[in-house]
Structure 1
Amino acid sequence: MSWTAHKDFVIFVILLFGFQVSQSWALYEWGGEYTQETICGLTGTTVILNCSFWYPKTHDGHIIKVEKTLWFTNGNNDQPEDLTKDSKYTDRLDLNCQGNWCTLSIRELRKSDEGKYKFRFITNATGGQYTVTSGVTLKVTDLTIQKPIWKKLSCHSECRLDSPSYIWYENGKKIPNLNSKKTISPVDYRSYSCALRGHEQHLSPPVCWGHPCDKVDYDHKNICALKGSDVDITCTYSHHKTVREKSWFRPDNGNTWNVPSVSTTWQLYHRYFTHDSRSQSYLRIINVTESDSAEYRFTFSEWGSDLPGTTLTVTAAQVQVIKAENKDSYTVASLSCHTSCSPASYSYWCWVKDGHENVGCPTWKKEQQITLHPGEYITCAVGNNPLSFSPPLYALEAPRVLLSNKSEILEGDLLTLTCIADTPTSSRHRWYKKCRTSDCEVMRYGEKLVFSSIQSSDSAEYFCAVENDLGEKMSQSVVIDVKYAPRFSNFLVSPSNVTEGQPVNLTCSSDANPAASYTWYKDQTMLQDSERNYYTFQSISAKDAGSFYCKARNKYGNVISSQVVVDIQYVPQLPSISARPCTNVSMGSTVRLTCTSDANPAASYFWFKDHEESPRSTEAMFNIINFQQDNEGEYHCVARNSQGSRNATVLLRAEKFRSWSQGALTAVAVRYATTGLLLILLLVTVLLFWKKTTSKGRMHSKSQPNTSEDSSRDQLEELMAFSEHSPINSNVTNDKTDHDEDDYETVVDTVIKCGGQASG
C-alpha cells in the first residue's frame, strides 16, 4: 500500500510538472512586446507605436501564416474594434507590417486620441490568434508657457522632445531672429505664444505679460463640418485700449470680412455673417462647401496677423463598401454611409438610388445591403441636410478603347489609346497588354495610354479596366498592328560549303509588315523577281559562282542585303603538261616538266614515273637534271584537292646520238665541217658522172629509160636525208623553233607544251 501511494504521488508530480512546462512552452511560442509602453505626443504632431510578435512555425503539421493584423483601443482582447474602421481616425493612420514587426503611425494628434493601444494578429491555425495584452498608453498634450525665473518666459511641454526648435509670437506677430530659443525676455502689456517649428498650427495658449494686454485665443484650432451645414468660428480677445477696426480674413486668398462696431447686429456678406461682443467675435458660414475649407483668422488694429487661427475642413458623406459580390449581370453590396468628420449628433441617414429611388430615407440605419445593375448608382446623406449627399457610387459597365489613329499605324507614329467608361465615375483606370497567362501585369495606370513613338515591338492586343470599390470591368481588346518597311535579319547559304553538282539554296530573311517580296541579283544582274525569299540551284556548277544579294520590299520601303560570295568547289580539271625540251631529249640535258589544272580549292601536284608508288616530286614543276638513258619512260602528273583527283601522262625518250654539251661544241663543229666537205666532194663527183653519162647516152634517150639517172637521184636523196626524231606521243605538240644550244640556256621563257595521254 505504501508503495502504491508513493507511486501515485510521483505520477501526480510528473503530470503537474509536465503541465507547467507545456504552459510555459505555450506562452513562449505565442507572444509579443511593445518597444514603449508609454508614449507622449504634442497636439498636431505624429507618433509611432511599435510591436514585435512571434508564434509557432507549424500547427498540426501545417505551416502557420499570419492572415490579419490590427490595432485597437475599444473592445476586449477577444473582440477588438479595428482602428482603421473608426471614422475618428480616417486619413490619419498608417499601418505597416514587415515580417514579425508592425508599426502604427497616428498623424495630427488630437486630445481625443489619448488612451491605451493594443496589437493583435490572427493566423490560419485553428484558434491561432493572439493579443499583446500590455498595450501602449498614449498621452497627448499641448505646449504651455511658464515663468521659470524673473522676467523670463519658457515654452514648456510635458512630452520629452528631441532637439526641439521653437517659434515665438508677440501680439500676433512672429518674433524674428530668436534662433529657436526655448526662453525669451517679455515686454510689458503684450501677449506671447510659442509653437514647434513645423507645427505652427498647434501653438500654446497666449499668456499676458502685464495687464491689460492685447490677446486673441481661438476656441477651436480645427473644425470639421459636413457639406451643407452651418459653421461658427469663434475666438475670445482682449485689448489694452480702444479698438478701432476688427475683421475676419482668409490668408490663402485675401478674403476679409469686417466685424461691425455694434455688438448686437450680424453683418451679412452673402453666406458669411460676423458678430461681435465685448470679448468675443464670431464668423458664421452658411451652407459650407468644399471651397470653404481654409484657415480663418481674426485681427484688430493693434493685433498682428501672423498667429495661426482656426482651420475649417468641409467634407461630404462617402458611400463606403463593406463587402461586394459581383454576379453576371448585377452586384450585391453591403454599404455604409461614412464621414471623415464626427458631428455632434446624427438625426438619421438617407439612401437614394439613381437620384430618385429612396432605398432608405429617412432611416436610422447607417448601413444598407443594395443590389445594383451596371450603370446604376447609390448615394447617401447624413441627417436632413440635402447638400451633404455623397458622390455617386456606380456599378460599372464595361469600358471601350478608342484609338487616336483611324488608319494604318506606322512605326514612329504618335498613338493614344483612351479608356472610355460610359458611366460618369471617378473610377481608377488600368491598362494591360494581352499575355498568354491568365494573370497579366498592369503596364500603366490612367485613362490614356500614350505611345509617343510606337515601335514594331508594341504590336499586340491591348485592353483596359475600370475599377471602383464595387469591383472592376474589362474592355474588349483592340489589336495594334504596327506597319514598317523591311529590315534584314539573315542571309543563309545552304549548305555552307558548296560542291559542284549538289543542290544549293539561298535564303534571304527579312522582318517586315506587311510581308516583303524579293528580287535576286548575281554580280549586279537581276536573276529573278518573285514573291519567294529563296533561290535554288538544283545542280550547281562552277559557272554559277559569284556574288549574290537580294532586295526585300513592301509598300513602305525596301532594303538590300549584304553581298554573299558563293564559292563552288570542284574536282581538278584534266591537267595540262608542258615540257622543255619537248621532243627526244638529248643526253645530259635538263628537262623541265610543268603540270597545271583548274581546281577549287587549288590542286596539289604529284609526279610519278612509270608505276612507281612514291612520287618523284610534289610540286607543279618537276626538273630532271642530266637526262640519261635510265630517265626514259612515262611520267604521270596527278592533280588532287579535297573533291578528287585527275592525272595526265607524258613519254620522254633519249636521242640516238650523244647529247650536246657546251664542252663538245668544238668536236661537233669539226665533225659537221668534215661531213660538209665530204658531201660537197661527193656532190661534185656525182654531177660530173651524171654529165658524162648524159652526153654518151643522149643518142639513145628516146628509146631507152634513163635508169641510171633515177638511181643517182635516189642515192642523192638518201645521202641528204636526216633521221627524223620519233615523237614522244601522238598528242605532243612542239612549240620549239630552231635554236642552237645557246638558246636553251638563255631563252628561259620559251615553253614547249606537250599534250600527253591523259586519263581521268
Structure 2
Amino acid sequence: MSWSAQKGRVVFVILLFGVQVVQGMETIDWGGTYAQTTICGLTGTTVEFQCSFWYPQTIDGQNTNVVKRFWFTKGSSYNTEDLSLDPEYSGRLHFDCQGDLCRLSIRELRESDAAVYKFRFVTNHGREGSYSVMPGVNLTVNDLRVQVRNYRQKTLRCVTKCHLGSSPSYNWYENGEEIQNENSQDYTPAHNSKHSYSCAVRDQHLLSPPACVVEKCNKVVYDNRNICALKGSSVDITCTYSHPYAIRTKFWFRADPSYMRINPSPPRNLQLDDRDRVEYPRESYRRSTLRIKNVMESDSAEYRFKFTTYDFEWRSSLPGTSLTVAAVQVQVMDVEVEDSYVSAQLSCHMSCSPTAPLSFCWMRNGRSAVDCSTAQMTKHHKIDLYPGDYVTCGVHGYPLTVSTPLYALKAPLIWPSDPEEILEGRPLTLTCRTDTQTSYGQHWYKKLKPSGHQAVGDGPELVFTSIRSSDSAEYFCTVGNELGNKTSQSVMIDVKYGPLHANVSAIPSSSISVGSSVSLTCSSDANPDASYIWYKDNEESPKFTGAVFNISDYRQHHGGEYRCEARNAFGSLNATLWLQVKASPLEAATIGCVTAALLLILLLVAVLMLRKKMASKHTTQCKAQPKATADSHRDHQEELVYSVVAFSKHAPTYSNVANAKRDQDDGVEYTAVGCSDSRVSRPKLQEEPDVSTLYSTVQKKRI
C-alpha cells in the first residue's frame, strides 16, 4: 500500500494469491511505495523490506538532493528514531540503497521485532524537504512447531502461522537426527516410541523445538537460540530436558566442528577445563544452567547439553545456544570537519544486541564526559574534538568494557631508518608515526613532477630492500579514521651513488690538425656530482683538473691516450680517449720524400749485401783460376761478362767455366765464366728433384 501527502495521486491495492502487491501512479509530488505491506517471518530467519520513493526534482529553482535515508519504528513523522541506532537491532541490520530504491534486512528474527516499519528520506530543502512513506510494513513473527494431529495414530504436522508459499518442502528429525526421504508437512512415526521429533522448512535452516508423541520422551529444549553477552560480564545458558528413565550423567560442552563429523570426538565437560569461570548453578529437575563468568571474545561458540540414561545417550545434531561475546566500540554516525577541530555525533556500538538494557558512559581524554550513574541508555553522544583528543565509551558497572580510544588525529611524521646519507643498494625503511597508541589506515605516496603523486604502499612502514637512484623523490604518508584524514610533511629521499657510465668526447674530432684548438670533455652520472682529473698515457702526474680539458695550440707531442677519472665520495670510474695528429700538406710532402729516400737507401744496401755474399761464395767454390795472358787480361778488361749461376735444393751443383769465344756480333763480346768443384762432368741423376734456378744476365758494350 502506498501513501501520498499531495493530491492528484491514485493508489491501487491488488491482492494476488495472498501476496499484497502495491502499485502507484507516479506524479511530480512527494511519495513512496512498499513492495509488501505485511510480512510474516519465522523466528531466527531473515526478512527484507523494500521501498521505492520519489520527490520533486526542483523546488523554487533549486535542485533537490537526498541527504539522508533511514528506517524507523518509533516516533512520529517529524520526530523519528533511526533504527540503526537502536541497540535492540545492533549487529542484525543491513541497509542498502540504489538510487530511489532502499532495502532493509533483519537477521536472527525475534518475537520482539514484530512492529510496523516505515521509511523516511531527508533532502537539502530543510524541514519541509523531509518525507515519511506511509503506512509502512507490518511485520509479524511466529515460531515453527510440531503439532500432534491424531493421538491414536500419532500423526505429526509441521505448522506455523506464517504463509510459507506454495508447496514448501520439510525436513524431519528423530532425537535430533535427520530422517531420510521425508519431505512432506506430515509425518507418522513407525512405532509408539519414546523419541522426540522436530521439523524444519527446507533451505531456511530453522528448526522447531522437539515434541513428544507420548507423555515422556527424550528431548532437550534451549531457552534461547542466540545470546549476546558483554565482554567481562557473566552469562547464563539454560535448557529444559526430559527423559523416561533415571539419568546417569549430564553436562554442558562446547560444540566443536569435529562433533558434527561422522566420527566426532567425545564431548568434554566444560567444567573440567575451566573450574574458575564455569559452574552449574540452580540445577533442578529437568532444568540445567551453564554459567560462564567474565566472558571473553574467545568464548563465542555454540554450547549444547548432553545426558545419558542406563540405555540411552542424547547426542543430538540439532543446534544448541550460540553465544556471541562483544565489546563496545565508538561508532561515528556523523562528522563535521572545522578548521581546527571536528564535531562528531557518536554511538556506543556493539556487534550484537544484548537482551538486558545497558547504561553507557562517555569519557574524553580519560575523564568522564557524562555522569554514568544517571545516563540511562545514553547510547548517543555529540562532542567536539581537537587534534590529539580521544574519546571512549563503556557500560556502567562493567569496567572491562571500555572501548578502544577514537582519536582526532594529528598530522603524522616520517622517520627514516637511516637519518644520514642514503646510499644506493642499501636497505631503507620509512615509518609513518602518529602520537596515538592505536593504528589507523596508513598510505604512502611519491610526488611526481610537475604536480601530482603516485600511491606506493600501505601500512605504517614503506620498505626499500635495496634502494635505487630512481627512488630519489619526495615522499609523504597519510593516516585516517572515521573522523577524517591527516597528511604528513614531505620528506626528500636523495639516494647517493658513485659515478656511473663515465664517457669522454674530442672536439672537433678524434684526428686533429696541428695548430688547431681541442676540447676534451668528461661526463658521468653521479650523486653528488663527480670531480674530474685528466692523465696522459701512463703518466702519474695529472695534466688537468676539471670536466673540460682545453688544448689551444695542438702539436705533435699532444697525441696519445688520455684518461679521465671521475670521482666522488662513493666511488670512481675511468674513461679513455686516443688522440691522433693529422700533419699539414707541406709536412706530409716532406715526410713522403724522406720516407722514399729511406726506402731507396735500404734497397741499395740490400743489393750490395746480396752481391757481396754471392761474390764470397764464388771465391770459395773455385779452387783454381786459369792463368791469363797479358793480352787476354787486357782483352778481358774490355769484355762483357755473362754469369750463369744455378742452385739446387737436393742435388750437387754443376758449373762450367770457360773463356769466352771471341765472336764478333754487333760489336758485342760474350764471355762465359764458370766454376766447378770437379773438372769431370757428372752424369745427371735420373730421379733428380725439382731445382729452382736463378739466372742473371749482365750486358755491357765495348768502349
TM-score, reference length from structure 2: 0.60
In structure 2, list runs of 5 or more residues that go unmatched: 1-6, 10-23, 258-266, 580-584, 590-703
Which secondary structure does the structure 2 equivalent of 1:27 belong to?
Answer: coil
Classify 1:325/1:135 alpha carbon distance in 2 versus 1 (closer, same or farther; 3 Å).
closer
**Is 1:243 matched up with 2:247?**
yes
Displacement after TM superposition at 1:401 (Å): 3.2
**Is 1:385 matched up with 2:398?**
yes
1:308 to 300, 312, 319: 319
What is the alpha-carbon distance in structure 2 between the residues aligned to residue 84 and residue 236 of structure 1? Answer: 34
**Is 1:513 matched up with 2:527?**
yes
What is the alpha-carbon distance in structure 2 between the residues aligned to residue 509 and residue 162 of structure 1? Answer: 87
Classify 1:42/1:492 alpha carbon distance in 2 versus 1 (closer, same or farther; 3 Å).
farther
Displacement after TM superposition at 1:147 (Å): 6.9
What is the alpha-carbon distance in structure 1 between the residues aligned to residue 184 and residue 427 of structure 2? Answer: 61
Classify 1:42/1:434 alpha carbon distance in 2 versus 1 (closer, same or farther; 3 Å).
farther
For residues 592-650 of structure 1, the C-alpha deviation after alignment (integer angstroms, 9 at most, x for no partner) is xxxxxxxxxxxxxxxxxxxxxxxxxxxxxxxxxxxxxxxxxxxxxxxxxxxxxxxxxxx
Displacement after TM superposition at 1:128 (Å): 4.1
Displacement after TM superposition at 1:276 (Å): 2.1
Q: After the TM superposition, which residues 141-180 of structure 1 pair with which residues of structure 2 at under 5 Å, given as runs?
A: 141-145=142-146, 158=162, 160=164, 169-172=173-176, 174-175=177-178, 178=180
Classify 1:354/1:508 alpha carbon distance in 2 versus 1 (closer, same or farther; 3 Å).
same
Displacement after TM superposition at 1:530 (Å): 8.0
What is the alpha-carbon distance in structure 1 between the residues aligned to residue 390 and residue 492 of structure 2? Answer: 32
What is the alpha-carbon distance in structure 2 between the residues aligned to residue 194 and residue 530 of structure 1? Answer: 101
Classify 1:376/1:125 alpha carbon distance in 2 versus 1 (closer, same or farther; 3 Å).
closer
What is the alpha-carbon distance in structure 1 between the residues aligned to residue 543 and residue 41 of structure 2? Answer: 85
Displacement after TM superposition at 1:145 (Å): 4.0
Is the CA contact (8 Å cut-off) linking 1:227 and 1:288 kept in structure 2?
Answer: yes
Identity %: 50
Counterpart in the other structure of 1:214: 218
For residues 417-471 of structure 1, the C-alpha deviation after alignment (integer angstroms, 9 at most, x for no partner) is 3333333235443434456899977654433333445444433333434444455
Counterpart in the other structure of 1:318: 329
Counterpart in the other structure of 1:720: none
Classify 1:346/1:400 alpha carbon distance in 2 versus 1 (closer, same or farther; 3 Å).
same
Displacement after TM superposition at 1:324 (Å): 5.7
Is the CA contact (8 Å cut-off) linking 2:426 and 2:466 kept in structure 1?
Answer: yes
Displacement after TM superposition at 1:191 (Å): 1.6
Which secondary structure does the structure 2 equivalent of 1:223 belong to?
Answer: strand
Is the CA contact (8 Å cut-off) linking 2:91 and 2:353 kept in structure 1?
Answer: no
For residues 510-564 of structure 1, the C-alpha deviation after alignment (integer angstroms, 9 at most, x for no partner) is 65433455689999999x99887778899999xx999999986655567899x99
Amino acid at match of 2:229: A
Q: After the TM superposition, which residues 383-532 of structure 1 pair with which residues of structure 2 at under 5 Å, given as runs?
A: 383-434=396-447, 444-484=457-497, 511-516=525-530
For residues 469-515 of structure 1, the C-alpha deviation after alignment (integer angstroms, 9 at most, x for no partner) is 4555544443333344556699999999x999999999887654334
Displacement after TM superposition at 1:328 (Å): 7.7
Counterpart in the other structure of 2:112: 112
Classify 1:122/1:381 alpha carbon distance in 2 versus 1 (closer, same or farther; 3 Å).
closer
What is the alpha-carbon distance in structure 1 between the residues aligned to residue 189 and residue 66 of structure 2? Answer: 58
Amino acid at match of 2:284: S
Larger Rg: 1
Is the CA contact (8 Å cut-off) linking 2:361 and 2:368 kept in structure 1?
Answer: no
**Is 1:229 matched up with 2:233?**
yes
Q: After the TM superposition, which residues 20-419 of structure 1 pair with which residues of structure 2 at under 5 Å, given as runs?
A: 27-28=27-28, 30-39=30-39, 41-125=41-125, 127-133=128-134, 135-145=136-146, 158=162, 160=164, 169-172=173-176, 174-175=177-178, 178=180, 181=183, 186=189, 188-195=193-200, 202-252=206-256, 256-257=269-270, 269-301=276-308, 302-321=313-332, 335-339=346-350, 346=357, 348-355=359-366, 359-364=370-375, 366=378, 377-419=390-432
Amino acid at match of 1:133: M
What is the alpha-carbon distance in structure 2 between the residues aligned to residue 216 and residue 551 of structure 1? Answer: 92
Is the CA contact (8 Å cut-off) linking 1:88 and 1:340 kept in structure 2?
Answer: no
Is the CA contact (8 Å cut-off) linking 1:273 and 1:285 kept in structure 2?
Answer: no
What is the alpha-carbon distance in structure 2 between the residues aligned to residue 565 and residue 134 of structure 1? Answer: 98
Moved more, 26-35 or 458-467: 26-35
Is the CA contact (8 Å cut-off) linking 1:378 and 1:393 kept in structure 2?
Answer: yes
Counterpart in the other structure of 2:697: none
For residues 567-604 of structure 1, the C-alpha deviation after alignment (integer angstroms, 9 at most, x for no partner) is xxxxx99xx9xxxxxxxxxxxxxxxxxxxxxxxxxxxx
Is the CA contact (8 Å cut-off) linking 2:536 and 2:543 kept in structure 1?
Answer: no
Is the CA contact (8 Å cut-off) linking 2:53 and 2:101 kept in structure 1?
Answer: yes
**RMSD between aligned residues:** 5.5
Which secondary structure does the structure 1 equivalent of 2:281 belong to?
Answer: strand
Is the CA contact (8 Å cut-off) linking 2:120 and 2:133 kept in structure 1?
Answer: yes
Is the CA contact (8 Å cut-off) linking 1:432 and 1:444 kept in structure 2?
Answer: yes
What is the alpha-carbon distance in structure 2 between the residues aligned to residue 192 and residue 398 of structure 1? Answer: 64
Classify 1:279/1:107 alpha carbon distance in 2 versus 1 (closer, same or farther; 3 Å).
same
What is the alpha-carbon distance in structure 2 between the residues aligned to residue 464 and residue 423 of structure 1? Answer: 16
For residues 328-380 of structure 1, the C-alpha deviation after alignment (integer angstroms, 9 at most, x for no partner) is 87766555544555556657544445556575242336255556666554444
For residues 61-120 of structure 1, the C-alpha deviation after alignment (integer angstroms, 9 at most, x for no partner) is 444433333333333444443222222333333333334443334343334334443433
What is the alpha-carbon distance in structure 2 between the residues aligned to residue 182 and residue 510 of structure 1? Answer: 88
In structure 1, list runs of 5 or more residues that go unmatched: 1-18, 260-266, 567-571, 577-760
What is the alpha-carbon distance in structure 1 between the residues aligned to residue 566 and residue 240 of structure 2? Answer: 88
Is the CA contact (8 Å cut-off) linking 2:30 and 2:54 kept in structure 1?
Answer: yes
Displacement after TM superposition at 1:281 (Å): 1.0
Amino acid at match of 1:249: F
What is the alpha-carbon distance in structure 2 between the residues aligned to residue 519 and residue 179 of structure 1? Answer: 96
Classify 1:228/1:69 alpha carbon distance in 2 versus 1 (closer, same or farther; 3 Å).
same
Amino acid at match of 1:275: R
Which secondary structure does the structure 2 equivalent of 1:84 belong to?
Answer: helix
What is the alpha-carbon distance in structure 1 between the residues aligned to residue 571 and residue 140 of structure 2? Answer: 76
What is the alpha-carbon distance in structure 2 between the residues aligned to residue 437 and residue 93 of structure 1? Answer: 48
Classify 1:399/1:25 alpha carbon distance in 2 versus 1 (closer, same or farther; 3 Å).
same
Counterpart in the other structure of 2:618: none
Is the CA contact (8 Å cut-off) linking 2:447 and 2:454 kept in structure 1?
Answer: no
Which secondary structure does the structure 2 equivalent of 1:91 belong to?
Answer: coil
Is the CA contact (8 Å cut-off) linking 2:84 and 2:93 kept in structure 1?
Answer: yes
Displacement after TM superposition at 1:238 (Å): 0.7
What is the alpha-carbon distance in structure 2 between the residues aligned to residue 181 and residue 550 of structure 1? Answer: 94
Is the CA contact (8 Å cut-off) linking 2:174 and 2:196 kept in structure 1?
Answer: yes
Displacement after TM superposition at 1:245 (Å): 0.6
